Structures are given as C-alpha cells and as structure tokens.
C-alpha cells in the first residue's frame, strides 16, 4: 500500500498505534523510506493502545506516549489524530491542541457538515470507506468502487474535500476464518482504478494534514481538469450566473420556501424551482404564492424533480418515464406552466433517464459537475450545477479576503473551468434548527442576508443573473439578443425540428445578429 501511494503520486495518511509499532523492521523501514521519498506521505497518531472510553487524563497519557514513540522511531511529530474506533469527545480537542495537533479525522461528526474554516485546528470527517465491519460475522465487507466514488463526489460537492478510510485487511485475502498476509490483487486493482478516476477529474490527492494547504504550489495537482471536448468552442465565459432551488414541496418549511423565492423576486433575479410532484399541489400557502409570482411575470421557471425524491438511475425506463410524466402533468395542472427541465435527484442518471426525457419532450437535464460534464451541443442540454450555495457562503481556507472577495474568487474559478456558474440550493439551507438539530419552519435571517448580499454583489460587478434555460445560449454566443431564445423554446416544444433550429442559428450568425464565441 505504501508503494502504491508513491508510485501513483497519491497522498496518504497512516494512523500508527504506539504500542504496536517498532518490532517489525520491515514495516518500520517501509515507513521510513516513504517519509524520505514521498512528499505526500504522512504519519498520524492512532492512540497508544487503541483503547476507547478513557478518562481525559489517561487519554492525554496515551497521546503523549504515542508522540514519543513516533518521534523515537521515525523522527517526526504527528500533527493529525485519528481517534481509536473513531471515538472522541469535545474534551479530546483541547488535549490535542496542547500537544501540537492541528488536524483530526474521524467518522464521529461533531457537526454536519463538519466545520471547514480557516483556523488553528481542522476537523475533516471521513466520507468513504474501502471496507466496513459486519458485527454479525466479525468480517470486513469491502465496498464496491462505484459506491466509493459516489461518496467521494458527494463529499466534494458538499464540503470541498473527501477523506477515504482504508484498512490493510481490506486488501488482504481471507482464508480459513481469518485474514492472511497475502495481497488481494483484485482489491488493489480496484483501488488503482479509483485513484486514476480521481486524477482524471483533476482532484488533488493529498494527505489529511495538507487539505487546508491546497493553495501551496508543492501540493498542487498537475493533472489538468477534464472538460468535455464538445464544449471546446466555448473558450470564453459568459460572465453569468444562474440559480436553482431544489425540492420545493407542500407544507414542509413553507414559510422558508416562500421567503427564499421572494428574495430572488424582490431583487429581480431569475430563479428556477424544482418540484417534487407527489408532494406538490395541496398547500395553498406554497401553491398560491408561486402562482402569484408567475402571474406577476416574475422571472421564475419550474423544473421537474421527479414524482418522489429518489435516485432515478435505480428505476427502469417505464418507472423513470412515469415519474417525469406525472410530475410534468402536476406542474401544468397546478401552476399552468410547461416544464422543460429535469433536475435529477442526487445528480444520478443513466441512458434510460435520457430516453425517458426524450419520450416526455424534456430538453434540459440539470445534474452536478461532479457526475456529469456540461454539454450544450447535444440534446438534452446538460446544464450541470457548478456549486451549492453553501459552498459559496461558508468559510473555508482555500480563499482569502472578505465574503465578497471569496464570492468573486470561487465564481471566477467556475467561470474559467465551465464557462458559467450554476448555483443550487434547498429551502433547508435557510431554515433554523431546534435544540435537537431538527429543521423547523423558521427563517434563518442571516442566511437570507447572505443570499441578498451575493445577489447584490453580482449585480454590482455587472455579472448577469440569468435563467438556467438561457445558459446554453449565453455560453455559446458572445452576442445573443434575448428575443432569440423564443426559437429555442419552439424547438423545445417540438414546434420546429433540430434541423430547423440549426438552420435558423446559422442564418442569424451569417447576418451577425448573433456572434459565437
């Protein structure tokens, strides 16, 4: 495992149990070699004897003894602590700070999502595992690579980083009721495929203690970001941002939902709301409010979220088509508008999804860039989310300056990479929580103020706030009069064919009414 990390230039943090290290010279020499040759190799403390439920005094003794053992054998002082069995409490952290620790990583979350702020002590939760213990059999069950990548992508999208926990037994053979010191080549090959996929996406592979040092040149990933070749013609960004509110439904925090929508309406900012069909249409507070906004000609568009909030890639074609059709009919019947976009739950879809969309004349698919490359050259248009609102609003150590400075840096990075910015959010992002941590129907005024500040900042910087439906044209054309989107609407509604659309655009380009990038 050590050699794989070095050969594939993949960062790794190893947790050392103080009482269990030092007697096996093969392991000791292997770690020393990595420390001398691999800049992305890091030692963490995993306690002295892997005991839990210690008193704070005994816990401090355990940490101190492990520090001394690691220093004695390897000549380094660990800065990262991996709690035994992921167990720790708030009293552990002051002890760690006292002993010079700056990072903690476990699956025992203090807060969800874990705090990722520029501070003197970082807590990076584990997002994925290569294996989990089955308490019935006392055997480790390995996790499939596609599940691990899904967990990594989810954590990157939500938190900006992902920590994967591995154990040596996940990569060894199991014979006659126990793990043996024989490499399981299949599992190693799977790990290689995960590392290669991570690299292909341009993600930084770094040890835990370097996550917050993302901007340092020494640890920058040299693998280029992969952008779909079909969008190569869009070599300039549109200087535009679109917003989407997912999971709008009846009765659930309806005051909060309405307040978020009204924030966009009040500031003349377009927004798209995605509706869960089964749970929409019977709450007058929600329905009447949205209908009035549409009647007032506020720039609000509606997307399909599905009949239920479910992973549609787990459905067969008939189920996917039925979910899209029923939700589309519900939106039309309740709000009197036609929806032409499917905002796929959890960013997951497959070929049946695309077929189901085509069968229901849906021309826009909105997933997330972690799982779907933007594509404006084929149908349906793939208009992927580039960021969650929370990742724009919350503190992190990757960007410096004021909130406005960080808005600007993050949006610039997305514009340069994808040529546009699409920000997703949910009503729950703006709701308060009670003492037990449950979401309640009470508006988080600070979050609303932050959203208002973001909208004002964009307008002040002359960055266009546009509808998602306008993004394909805004990205493709440098000059694009607004009236031309009617042609795309006709195409989306089946009134003109794709060939008719192509011919119309070519004609307008020839007359320089629109100018491609």
- The mean pLDDT value for 486-509 works out to 71
Q: Determine the pLDDT at residue 236.
A: 61
The model's pTM: 0.59
**pLDDT band for position 112 (50/70/90)?**
very low
What pLDDT was estimated at residue 222?
30
pLDDT band at 316 (very low <50, low <70, confident <90, very high): very high
Same fold, 2-219 and 238-476: yes
Considering only 213-217, 230-234, 377-381, which range has the smallest mean pLDDT? 230-234
Between 230 and 178, whose confidence is greater? Answer: 178
The answer to whether 11 and 207 have CB atoms below 8 angstroms apart is: yes
**pLDDT of 379 strictly over 50:** yes
Residue 214 has what pLDDT?
54
Q: ∠ CA 287-291-294 to the nearest 5 degrees?
A: 145
Contact yes or no for 93/99 (Cβ under 8 A): no
24: helix, coil or strand?
Answer: coil
* pLDDT value of position 373: 85
Provide the token pair at 317.
Answer: 């074609």
Of 148, 150, 153, the closest CA to residue 164 belongs to 148
User: Does the pLDDT of residue 397 top 70, yes or no?
Assistant: no
Q: Average pLDDT of 263-283?
A: 95
CA distances, 20 to each of 44, 48, 61, 174 (Å): 14, 8, 16, 22
- Check whether 452 has a pLDDT greater than 50: yes
What's the confidence (pLDDT) of residue 183? 84
The per-residue pLDDT for 329 is: 96
Task: Look at 498 and 287; give whichever has higher pLDDT.
Answer: 287
Residue 117, pLDDT > 60, answer no
Position of tokens 């978020």?
Answer: 260
Comparing 65-79, 314-328, 406-420, which segment has the lowest mean pLDDT? 406-420
Task: Identify the CA nearest to 261 among candidates 346, 335, 189, 163.
Answer: 335
Query: Is the per-residue pLDDT at 494 higher than 70?
Result: no
- Are the C-beta atoms of residues 123 and 110 closer than 8 Å to each other? yes
| Under 8 Å between Cβ of 257 and 286 | yes
Q: How many residues can be counted in the chain?
A: 517
Q: Residue 514: left (phi > 0), alpha (psi -120 to 50), or beta?
A: beta
How much of the chain is helix, strand and coil, in % rounded to 5? 45, 20, 35
Query: For residue range 184-219, what is the model confidence (pLDDT) as tens digits?
Result: 888 888 888 888 888 776 677 889 888 876 544 333
- Provide the pLDDT for residue 297: 72
pLDDT at 300: 92
Mean pLDDT, residues 283-308 taken together:
92
3-state class of 516 per DSSP? strand
For residue 390, the tally of other CB atoms under 10 A from its CB is 17
Residue range 111-140: mean pLDDT, rounded: 72
* DSSP 8-class letter at 217: G
Which fold is adopted by the domain 238-476? TIM Barrel (3.20.20)
Classify residue 497 by burial, with Cβ atoms within 10 Å: 0-12, 13-18, 19+.
exposed
Q: Which residues contact 393 (CB under 8 A, 6 or more apart)?
A: 403, 447, 450, 451, 454
pLDDT at 465: 94
- Does 111 have pLDDT greater than 70? no
Is 131:190 a contact under the CB 8 Å cutoff?
A: no
The pLDDT assigned to 110 comes to 46
Cα distances from 468 to residues 273, 392, 407, 436, in angstroms, run 10, 18, 19, 37
Mean pLDDT of 497-510: 73
pLDDT tops 80 at residue 158: no
Query: What is d(CA 254, CA 258) in angstroms, rounded to the nearest whole number?
Result: 6
2-60: pLDDT as tens digits: 778 878 888 899 999 999 999 999 999 999 988 888 888 999 999 999 888 888 999 99
d(CA 459, CA 321) in angstroms, rounded, equals 39
Pick the CATH number of 2-219 from 3.40.50.300, 2.60.40.10, 3.40.50.620, 3.20.20.370: 3.20.20.370
Q: Has residue 80 got a pLDDT over 70? A: yes
Bridge partners of 492, per DSSP, are: none
- What proportion of the chain, given as a percentage, has pLDDT over 70? 85
Closest CA to 463 of 311, 270, 245: 270
What integer pLDDT is reported at residue 281 of this predicted model? 94
| Domain residue limits, the chain | 2-219, 238-476, 480-517
Q: Is the pLDDT of residue 284 over 90?
A: yes
DSSP element (H, E) containing 34: helix 25-37
Kind of pairing, strands 178-183 and 172-175? antiparallel
Residue found by looking up tokens 């101190």 in the block: 64
Confidence (pLDDT) at 488 = 67
Task: Flag whether pLDDT at 235 surpasses 60.
Answer: no
Mean pLDDT over residues 321-349, rounded?
Answer: 94
Task: Please tell me whether the peptide bond between 347 and the residue prior to it is cis, using omega within 30 degrees of 0.
Answer: no
Say if residue 383 is exposed, middle or buried (CB neighbours under 10 Å; 0-12, 13-18, 19+).
Answer: buried
As given in the structure block, the two tokens for residue 325 are 């059709």
Confidence of residue 225 (pLDDT cuts 50, 70, 90): very low
Q: For the chain, what percent of residues have pLDDT higher than 90? A: 41
For 256, 278, 476, the CA distances from 479, given in Å and listed in that order, are 38, 41, 9
């Amino acid at each position: 495992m050590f050699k794989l990390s070095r050969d594939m230039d993949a960062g790794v943090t190893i947790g050392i149990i103080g009482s269990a290290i030092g007697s096996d010279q093969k392991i000791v020499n292997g770690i020393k070699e990595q420390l001398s040759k691999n800049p992305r190799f890091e030692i963490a403390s995993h306690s002295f004897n892997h005991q839990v439920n210690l008193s704070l005094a005994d816990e401090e003794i355990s940490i101190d003894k492990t520090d001394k053992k690691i220093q004695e054998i390897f000549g380094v002082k660990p800065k990262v602590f991996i709690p035994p069995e992921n167990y720790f409490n708030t009293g552990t952290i002051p002890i760690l700070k006292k002993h010079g620790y700056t990072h903690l990583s476990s699956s025992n979350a203090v807060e969800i999502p874990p705090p990722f702020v520029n501070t003197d002590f970082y807590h990076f939760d584990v997002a994925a595992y290569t294996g989990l213990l089955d308490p019935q059999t006392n055997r480790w069950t390995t996790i499939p690579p596609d599940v691990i990548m899904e967990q990594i992508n989810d954590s990157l999208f939500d938190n900006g980083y992902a920590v994967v926990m591995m154990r040596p037994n996940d990569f060894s053979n199991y014979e006659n009721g126990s793990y043996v010191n024989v490499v399981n080549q299949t599992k190693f090959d799977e790990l290689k495929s995960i590392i290669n996929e991570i690299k292909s996406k341009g993600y930084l592979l770094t040890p835990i203690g370097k996550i917050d040092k993302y901007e340092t040149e020494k640890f920058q990933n040299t693998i280029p970001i992969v952008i779909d070749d079909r969008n190569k013609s869009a070599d300039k960004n549109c200087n535009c941002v679109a917003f989407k509110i997912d999971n709008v439904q009846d009765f659930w925090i309806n005051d909060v939902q309405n307040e978020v929508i009204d924030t966009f309406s009040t500031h003349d900012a377009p927004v798209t709301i995605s509706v869960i069909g089964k749970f929409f249409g019977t709450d007058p507070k929600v329905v009447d409010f949205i209908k009035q906004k549409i009647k007032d000609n506020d720039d609000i568009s509606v997307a399909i979220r599905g009949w239920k909030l479910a992973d549609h890639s787990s459905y067969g074609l008939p189920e996917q088509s039925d979910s899209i059709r029923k939700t589309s009919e519900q939106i039309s019947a309740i709000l009197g508008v036609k929806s032409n976009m499917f905002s796929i739950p959890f960013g997951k879809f497959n070929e049946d999804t695309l077929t189901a969309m085509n069968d229901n004349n849906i021309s826009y698919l909105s997933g997330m860039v972690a799982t779907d490359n933007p594509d404006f050259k084929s149908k349906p248009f793939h208009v992927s989310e580039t960021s969650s609102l929370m990742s724009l609003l919350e503190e992190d150590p990757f960007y410096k300056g004021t909130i406005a400075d960080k808005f600007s840096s993050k949006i610039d990075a997305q514009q340069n990479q994808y040529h546009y910015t699409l920000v997703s959010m949910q009503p729950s992002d703006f709701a308060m929580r009670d003492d037990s941590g449950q979401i309640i129907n009470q508006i988080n005024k600070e979050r609303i103020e932050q959203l208002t500040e973001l909208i004002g900042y964009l307008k002040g910087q002359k960055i266009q706030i546009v509808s998602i439906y306008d993004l394909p044209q805004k990205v493709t054309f440098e000059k694009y009069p607004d009236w031309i989107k009617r042609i795309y609407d006709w195409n989306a509604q089946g009134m003109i064919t794709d060939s008719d659309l192509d011919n119309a655009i070519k004609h307008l380009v020839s007359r320089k009414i629109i100018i491609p990038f």
